[in-house]
Amino acid sequence: MADPGRIKTLRLTNFLPFAGEVVIPFEGKNLLVYGENGCGKSALFRALKGFFAITPPKEDFRNVFVPDQPWSVVVEFVDGAEARWDARAHPAQAGRDYSERVGRAARRSACLGYGDLVEVTEANVFNVAVQRLLADFGIPSSGGRQSSLRELMRLADSRVPKRETTAALGEVGLACREFNRGMRIALDQLEPIVPDLLNHLDANGMEVKSFRFPGVAYKTGTRKERMVGGRILEPTVSFHGHSVEGLRKFFNEARLSALALALFLAGRLACVPAEPEPETPRILVLDDVLIGLDMGHRLPLLELLRNRFSSWQIVLMTHDLVWFDLARDHGDHDAWSCLGLYPPPGLPPAAPIVSARGDLAREKATLAQARVFVAQNHLPAAGNYARVAFELALKRLCEESGSPVPFRRQARDVRADLLASSLKAKAAAGGNLELGAALGRALMFRRIVLNPASHPDPPGLGRSEVEGAIAAVAHVCSLTARDRRADSTRALLQEARRILADHPDAAACARARTLIYDELYTELKAFARSQGVLVPFGREPSLAKLWALTEKRFPNINLAEPVRAHKRQLFGAGPFAADELLALVDALAPGVEIRLSH
């Protein structure tokens, strides 16, 4: 069960490019976001960064195309609590809309963009450490209260005297000593973490052994010259035992990115208590921070986040589709949601399209743009977008079904006609007539409408033909390969087995039998629909009736034997014993999905 303090949804209303209300679904999970440049990734980053900020930015976030409409950012948490940020109030600031939860989260959360990595690899990281890396590191101070490192630095700066009296010099000296003590405590926490994270990021040969911090001190002089000086914090970096001076001159982009990420993430781990705090979100937002890393060094970051930031809610954003697909496939699907941001279907103020399903989202967004072009009478452009959506659907369906295609060094070099041929053969072998028919119709439109639309001045391209092609492609995009359905069936049969093993009482048996019945009924309806099984007009037939009609037409159906052997458990009224139902699960499991036997 998700932590009640995690984000369930983020609602953006008239916030930068998001005109109207747009809902970003988190569902209490980490979020992997893909978006091309100009599709709203930066706006999403700014919304999260501004919402979970101790001091909110003083900016006008209104959508410029609807400037008379107020903007807002609303976070709903898993437990149903909500917090709101708009031009009038911020939830981390005292006032009517104050949220203690957001206030705590603002001191725990962090947002890092690619530009921030550059600051972290400066020779002197004092300012970025005080303002970002270690800003909220808690230091017990006099009087029993706890102050953050950032607060101690502000206090020291505020004690710079206008008149250098003995009392004033004593106050600024004490404030500097308190800050120095706090910084050394923080560095003691930070220094052992950095090498471990560098090792996780596979930064071979790079070491950060310590930080040089001489300490701040009051610097006297004329009134304008007085200040707290000595703001120096320099990481001692070596590479294969060789001391490195001038990080940017010595290291390539990949190693600089690894070093910056290690320092930044180590700062988060040093500042935040290891044990999760009740109902206190820990939000970590990383926006395109992996640009400088090659693929071999990106996957280790996912492992690091999984191992060291398991109690955090992570938002990982990228414009790199290959990396998005790799991260999506590599990630834990129970812990991560995937989101696509796509160009708006039309001119402003239309908002970017938000979809929680990666591949399908691209297909749907592309089709939506095709329909916009039809409405604007740009028929060749509409045809091109429909063709792209069809090819995206072919790739997705081939991947889902495991359809074999000729080898190419680059997957993108496999032609669409080869994908379609393989997929049609797979559909025919599995008895999926609906997919086969949908592919045949879409391929016909591809040949006579979509292919000509990709050439200059296509001859005789009519609106009705383009609309027909879009409808045919939309049908293909709406389908999924049946192998994925089989995975779902396996999981449900396994759940029924678990229920029967844990609690073999009457209630558990009834629950397990309902699960088996509903799943078989759903699977049988999909098969009957794809094969064109005729049923009497009127109410939907029962499982027993639909099975009889299907088996009569297809006696070689693969589940015929186990169903005949367990008719009472499937079609009878009960009651049923646990051992009977376990035998039924064992009989159905090898078949998994309904198909024709050969």
Boundary of a domain, candidates 480, 503, 524: 480
Q: How far apart are CA 470 and CA 382, in angstroms?
A: 8
Q: How many other CB atoms are found less than 10 A from the CB of residue 284?
A: 21
Highest mean pLDDT out of 94-98, 122-126, 365-369, 524-528: 122-126
- Alpha helices by DSSP H, 211-308: 247-250, 253-271, 295-308
- Measured in degrees and rounded to the nearest 5, phi and psi for residue 84 equal -130, 140
Q: Which residue has the higher pLDDT, 335 or 360?
A: 335
Q: Are 563 and 570 in contact (CB under 8 A)?
A: yes
Q: How far apart are CA 375 and CA 371, in angstroms?
A: 6
Domain presence at residue 330: yes
Indicate if 562 and 510 belong to the same structural domain: yes
Q: Which residue has the higher pLDDT, 35 or 358?
A: 35
Q: Are 553 and 531 in contact (CB under 8 A)?
A: yes
476, amino acid identity? V
Indicate if 410 and 502 belong to the same structural domain: no
Indicate if 466 and 507 belong to the same structural domain: no
How many CA atoms within 13 Å lie on the side-chain side of 376?
14
Q: What percent of the chain has pLDDT over 70?
A: 88
Q: Provide the phi-psi class of 447: left if phi over 0, else alpha when psi is between -120 and 50, else beta.
A: alpha
Handedness of CA 412, 414, 415, 417 (dihedral sign): negative
State the pLDDT at residue 54: 86
Domain presence at residue 1: no
Mean pLDDT of 259-266: 92
Say if residue 400's pLDDT is above 70. yes
Domain presence at residue 177: yes
State the pLDDT at residue 482: 46
DSSP per-residue string spanning 367-430: HHHHHHHHHTT-HHHHHHHHHHHHHHHHHHHHHHHT------SSGGGS-HHHHHHHHHHHHHHT
Residue 120: beta bridge partners? none
Q: How far apart are CA 233 and CA 213, in angstroms?
A: 5
DSSP per-residue string spanning 23-83: EEE-TTSEEEEEE-TTSSHHHHHHHHHHHT-SS------B-TTSTTSPPEEEEEETTS-EE
Residue 215 to residues 178, 228, 518, Cα–Cα distance (Å): 10, 10, 70
Q: Are 422 and 405 in contact (CB under 8 A)?
A: yes
Highest mean pLDDT out of 53-57, 357-361, 449-453, 576-580: 53-57
Q: Are 273 and 165 in contact (CB under 8 A)?
A: no
Indicate if 454 and 503 belong to the same structural domain: no
Q: Are 51 and 75 in contact (CB under 8 A)?
A: yes
Mean pLDDT of 299-303: 85
- What the block records as the tokens of 265 is 């993430």
State the pLDDT at residue 484: 44
Q: How far apart are CA 336 and CA 358, in angstroms?
A: 12
Residue 219: beta bridge partners? 227
Domain presence at residue 598: no
Q: Which residue has the higher pLDDT, 413 or 19?
A: 19
Say if residue 334's pLDDT is above 80. no
Boundary of a domain, candidates 301, 331, 354: 354
- What the block records as the tokens of 378 is 């740009």
Indicate if 78 and 55 belong to the same structural domain: yes
Q: Which residue has the higher pLDDT, 116 or 266?
A: 266
Task: Read off the pLDDT of residues 481-519 as tens digits, 9 standing for 90 and up.
Answer: 544 445 556 666 777 777 777 767 777 788 778 777 777
Boundary of a domain, candidates 457, 480, 503: 480
Indicate if 87 and 232 belong to the same structural domain: no
Where does the pLDDT of residue 427 fall: very low under 50, low under 70, confident under 90, or very high at 90 and above? Answer: confident
State the pLDDT at residue 483: 43
Mean pLDDT of 173-199: 94
Residues in the chain: 598
- Measured in degrees and rounded to the nearest 5, phi and psi for residue 54 equal -65, -45
Which of 50-59, 302-311, 459-468, 584-593 has the lowest average pLDDT?
584-593
CATH code where residue 154 lies: 1.20.1050
Indicate if 302 and 338 belong to the same structural domain: yes
Domain presence at residue 13: yes
Indicate if 145 and 156 belong to the same structural domain: yes
Find tokens 């797979």 and name the residue.
426
Mean pLDDT of 362-389: 84
Say if residue 592's pLDDT is above 60. no
State the pLDDT at residue 485: 47
User: E strands, 271-332, where?
Assistant: 283-287, 313-318
Q: How far apart are CA 390 and CA 399, in angstroms?
A: 14
Listed in sequence order, the residues at least 6 apart from 582 whose beta carbon sits closer than 8 Å to its beta carbon are: 497, 500, 501
Q: How far apart are CA 201 and CA 208, in angstroms?
A: 13
State the pLDDT at residue 357: 52
Domain presence at residue 276: no
Pairing of strands 30-35, 336-342: parallel
Domain presence at residue 279: no
**DSSP assignment letter at 351:** P
Nearest to 340 by CA among 19, 565, 34, 6: 34
Indicate if 363 and 267 belong to the same structural domain: no
Say if residue 597's pLDDT is above 60. no
Indicate if 319 and 433 belong to the same structural domain: no
User: Exposed, middle or buried by CB within 10 Å (0-12, 13-18, 19+), for 317?
Assistant: buried
- Alpha helices by DSSP H, 125-250: 126-128, 149-158, 166-190, 193-200, 247-250
Task: Read off the pLDDT of residues 317-328 as tens digits, 9 standing for 90 and up.
Answer: 998 877 887 787
Mean pLDDT of 2-30: 89
CATH code where residue 422 lies: 1.20.120
Indicate if 91 and 132 belong to the same structural domain: no
- What the block records as the tokens of 300 is 């280790």
Pairing of strands 242-243, 234-239: antiparallel
Where does the pLDDT of residue 107 fall: very low under 50, low under 70, confident under 90, or very high at 90 and above? Answer: confident
Instruction: Give the number of domains in the chain.
Output: 4
Domain range enclosing 216: 114-271
Domain presence at residue 541: yes
State the pLDDT at residue 190: 94
User: Exposed, middle or buried by CB within 10 Å (0-12, 13-18, 19+), for 404?
Assistant: exposed
Handedness of CA 192, 193, 196, 202 (dihedral sign): negative
- Using alpha carbons only, what angle is made at residue 258 by residues 57 and 316, rounded to the nearest 5 degrees? 50
Collapse the DSSP code of 252 into the 3-class scheme (helix H, G, I; strand E, B; otherwise coil) and give the result.
coil
State the pLDDT at residue 226: 93
Nearest to 557 by CA among 584, 527, 534, 589: 527
433, amino acid identity? L
DSSP per-residue string spanning 174-186: HHHHHHHHHHHHH
Indicate if 157 and 250 belong to the same structural domain: yes
| Mean pLDDT for the chain overall | 83
Handedness of CA 27, 32, 34, 39 (dihedral sign): positive
